[in-house]
Amino acid sequence: MKKYILIVLVSIIILPSCMNEAVMEPNTHEGNFQALWKIIDTRYCYLDYKKINWDSIHTVYENQLPSATGQIAFFDLMGKMLDELKDGHVNLYSDFDLSRYWKWFLDYPSNFSSDLIYTTRYLGQSYRIAGGMNYGKINNGKIGYIYYGSFSDAFSDGNIASILNSFSSCHALIIDVRNNGGGSLDYSKQLASYFFKKTTVTGYIRHKTGDGHSDFSNPIKIVTPGHPTIQWQRPVAILTNRMSFSATNDFVNRMTNAPNAIIVGDKTGGGGGLPLSSELPNGWLVRFSSSPMFNLAMGNTEFGIDPTIFVALTAADQANGIDTIIERAITALK
Amino acid sequence: MKKIIFLSSILGLSFALSSQNIEGQEYLLTNKTNTYGISVLSLIDPYLSPLVYSGNGFQFEHESRRLLSLANTNLSIQSKINIEAAYLLNPAQTSSMTYMAFDYGFGMHYHFRPMKGLLLMAGGSADVGLGYKEVIRNINNPGNVDLATNLNLSGIALYDIQLPKRTLRLQLAVETPIIGWMYVPLQGASYYEMFGLGNLSNISHVSSLINRRGINPKLTLDFPFKHSVWQIGIKYQTLRYSANDMVFNRNELSLLLGTTFDMAGFGGWKRIAPPNFISPNK
């Protein structure tokens, strides 16, 4: 008995060395740089996919550290290093600024004007609002139109049932998610569920399982359930532009598998990597893509999803109060 | 609170007096201790952040202990409930963490009485703990759950210090987990993936001294004061566990203050109260 007690006591004393926490870098510019570089090196999910030489980037930016005196200069340098990832889901948060990479939409035509959709040709001024959705009938009452600007805006089954009931006389529906920068994946799934008759596999997700750039878990199915009581079984068009990002990208990916859906407009902005966050020794927060999401063919959705029908908003139409993309969707839904 | 302490003391006292009237009858008393504590704690949860969060907390602990039966006065059973809440900050104080925990434990001890005034208890306990940590500014990983059940080694030493007018009781209790089960999230995966999409692989782990280790010595002093017996104490808890390439750590030091008292319970078929014990329900 004494022997066993001794073994337990010795184990208690010795075994802590088997579980050591990761060593945190000191709170200096050098330490924070190393911590940030390592977080991306071990946990960012697209280094290999985007063919980024992160070791080389370490050398380039470490050499610039001595010239980055002061908090703001150091923050700008770290933000610039993160820009090398070309990812809208990567940000550095400090008390005084937010680093961001916005070229995924700034380098492209906007293909959206909120002034146009609120003209009398479309929603006008008497549209209704429910669950963050602005809606009304267009095209002489033949088509229902919903503008949904953020997947952070909550909606309920009751909201959707009311909206779809108001469109009972319409032969088709348009859901406009242009300039919708994303939000909750739960809302993305829920909104898509109204257009599926049965539970359908619509994509996959993986996550980093180790420090290696290609250490990923096996793909996990992303399914879109068919809503048990509320379903729109007539044609539906989803309008997209480059600012359709993140959870909106996920929604569009789901809808590419819906039975009566088409995607009209520009390629989405992407943002296919589910972001997580971590912290630096100085307390700054870093957000980064951690879990890549894929379409049904295991294609990466990070750089966006092509529409069924490519359409751009023309300057001439815009000058005449016409939204080229809505008009093309109306034509396609006839 | 004063009323409760007073009534409890009266009940204990009345039992002591009444028992003198029941010759030949023996009843088991249950010792109950309620303590409130303030804590300083630090913890590392790598799922939420690589940084050490530290801060202050508040806790309540209820402990109940009684002998197993009149026939065997060397075995006692014990149950414990611990509820805790804490607010912590990262080192740069740019982010906060809210921590809440609930723990229930049940144990059994064998009693040794090597000398007058000294009681040693050795045994084991089982506990189940549920905790929640939240770093509200995190993105897609704002919270993490602690869920574990353990079989522990447990030891308690009680020593009665006789003073001219009263008796003080010094108590040292120590517990350490030996084997159990714990939930640990997947590093790099969101709760959306784990629970929204059902990727529950590798979140369930058998724990042992290899991957979960801790110890929680508690030193208390019981002293009679007016109509009550008060308890002051100090408790240290350290716990470290590892799974899914993450090492979690928690260290906590608490100052405790409460009361301890003996109670008698009557109920069921076999524990009918003697007629001189008047129930408030009759």
Which chain B residues are within 8 Å of A19, Cβ to Cβ?
211, 213, 240-242, 247
Contacts of A6 in chain B (CB under 8 A): none
CB A313 within 8 A of CB A324: yes
Decide if A179 is inside a domain.
Answer: yes
Q: Do B141 and A208 touch (CB under 8 A)?
A: no
Res. B3: pLDDT tops 60: no
B66, B266 Cβ separation under 8 angstroms = no
Put simply, the answer to whether A279 touches B51 (Cβ < 8 Å) is yes
Q: How far is CA A141 from the centre of its chain?
A: 33
Phi-psi region of A124 (alpha: psi -120 to 50; beta: other; left: phi over 0): left
Asked if B50's CB is within 8 angstroms of A35's CB, the reply is yes
What's CA B43's distance to the chain center, in Å?
Answer: 19
Q: For residue B2, which phi and psi values (nearest 5 degrees)?
A: -60, -40
Q: What is the pLDDT of residue B238?
A: 97
Residue B274: pLDDT band by 50, 70, 90 thresholds? confident
CA B150 from chain center: how many Å?
A: 13
Whether residue A107 is contained in a domain is answered as no
In a domain, A104, yes or no: no
Q: How far apart are CA A89 and CA A98, in angstroms?
A: 12
Beta bridge pairs of residue B206:
B181
| B69-118 tens-digit pLDDT | 888 889 999 999 999 999 999 999 999 999 999 999 999 999 999 999 99
Let me know if residue A85 belongs to a domain.
no
List C-alpha distances in Å: B210 to A12, A330, B7, B147, B238.
9, 65, 48, 18, 15
Q: What is the ipTM of this complex?
A: 0.88
Identify the structural domains of chain B with CATH numbers, from first to last.
32-261 (2.40.128.100)
Phi then psi for B188, rounded to 5 degrees? 85, -5
Q: Measured between CA atoms, how close is B49 to chain A, in angstroms?
A: 5
Q: What is the pLDDT of residue A13?
A: 54
Q: What is the pLDDT of residue A149?
A: 97
Vertex B218 angle, CA B250 and B51, to 5°: 10
A13 interfaces chain B, CB cutoff of 8 Å: no
CA distance A220 to B198: 8
Q: Residue B35, Cα to own-chain centre: how many angstroms? A: 10
Asked if A70 is an interface residue toward chain B (Cβ–Cβ < 8 A), one would say no
Q: Which of A82-86, A186-190, B10-14 has the lowest mean pLDDT?
A: B10-14
- What is the C-alpha separation between A186 and A196, in angstroms, rounded? 16
Q: What range defines the domain where residue A258 resides?
A: 114-196+231-270+305-333
pLDDT of B234 above 60: yes
Cα–Cα distances (Å) from B33 to A286, B82, B124, in that order, read: 46, 12, 19
In this complex, the residue of A15, A24, A291 whose CB is nearest that of residue B210 is A15
Q: What's the mean pLDDT when you consider all of chain A?
A: 94
The pLDDT assigned to B18 comes to 44
Question: What is the average pLDDT across A181-207?
Answer: 97
Helix or strand run (H / E) with residue B17: helix B2-19
> Best of A279, A284, A286, A294 to disrupt the B interface by mutation (most B CBs within 10 Å)?
A279
Which chain A residues touch B137 with a CB distance below 8 Å? 93, 277, 285
Please tell me the distance from the alpha carbon of residue B122 to that of residue B108, in angstroms, as a whole number. 8
Residue A163 lies in a domain: yes
Q: How many domains does chain A have?
A: 1
CB contact under 8 A, B197 and A220: yes
Q: What value, to the nearest 5°, has the Cα angle with vertex B214 and ends B211 and B215?
A: 160
**Residue A106 reports pLDDT greater than 50:** yes
Start-to-end Cα distance in chain B = 25
Residue at A149: amino acid letter:
G
According to DSSP H, which parts of chain A are helical?
Answer: 2-14, 29-43, 54-64, 71-83, 103-106, 114-117, 157-166, 185-193, 247-255, 315-319, 324-333
Cross-chain residue pair A283–B241, CB shorter than 8 Å: no
- What's the first-to-final CA gap in chain A, in angstroms? 85
Residue bearing the bigger pLDDT, B278 or B126: B126
Contacting residues of A for B215, CB less than 8 Å apart = 12
Residue of A nearest to B140 (CA): A276
CA distance B89 to chain A (A): 10
> For chain B, how long is the longest CA-to-CA vector?
69
Instruction: Let me know how long chain B is.
Output: 282
Segment A147-176, tens digit of pLDDT: 999 999 999 999 999 999 999 999 999 999
- The answer to whether residue A322 sits within a structural domain is yes
Q: What is the CATH number of the domain that holds A327?
A: 3.90.226.10
Mutate to test the interface with A, among B193, B213, B239, B241 (most CBs of A within 10 A): B193
pLDDT, residue B89, reads 98
Q: Does A205 touch chain B (CB under 8 A)?
A: yes
Does some domain include residue A225? no
Q: Dump pLDDT digits (tens) for A216-256.
A: 999 999 999 999 999 999 999 999 999 999 999 999 999 99
Cα distances (Å, whole numbers) of residue A67 to A11, A27, A97, A281, B137: 50, 18, 20, 20, 31
Which are the contacts of A169, defined by CB distance < 8 A and separation ≥ 6? A137, A141
